[in-house]
Amino acid sequence: MKNPIKSYNIANVGENDAEINMYGEVVSARPTDWWTGEPIPGNFIALDEFLHDLNDLETKDNITVHINSVGGDFYAGLAIYNRLRSMKANITTINDSLAASAGSIILQAGNTRKVRAASNTMVHGVLGLLMGYYNVQDLKGVIKQFEAGNRALVNAYVEAGGQDPEKVKHYIDKETWLTGQEAVDAGFADEVI
Helix, strand, or coil (residue 32): strand
CA-only gyration radius of the chain, Å: 17
Burial of 51-82, coded b for 16+ CB within 10 Å and e otherwise, reads: eeebeebeebeebbbbbbbebbbbebbbbbbe
Burial of 140-149, coded b for 16+ CB within 10 Å and e otherwise, reads: eeeeeeeeeb
State the pLDDT at residue 181.
Answer: 97
State the pLDDT at residue 12.
Answer: 86
Catalytic sites, residue numbers: 101, 124
Model confidence, pTM: 0.92
State the pLDDT at residue 80.
Answer: 97
If you count DSSP H runs as helices and E runs as strands, how many of each does the chain have, helices first?
6, 9
State the pLDDT at residue 39.
Answer: 84
State the pLDDT at residue 1.
Answer: 44
How would you class 45 by CB atoms within 10 Å of its CB: exposed for 0-12, middle for 13-18, buried for 19 or more? buried
Q: Angle CA(124)–CA(69)–CA(30) in degrees, nearest 5?
A: 105
Q: pLDDT in tens for each of the 193 residues of the chain?
A: 455 567 788 888 888 999 999 999 999 998 889 999 888 888 899 999 999 999 999 999 999 999 999 999 999 999 999 999 999 999 999 999 999 999 999 999 999 999 999 999 999 999 998 899 999 999 999 999 999 999 999 999 999 999 999 999 999 999 999 999 999 999 999 999 9
Stated length of the chain: 193
**Distance between CA atoms of residues 74 and 26, nearest Å:** 8
**CA separation, residue 46 to residues 7, 23, 26, 51, 124 (Å):** 9, 11, 6, 9, 21
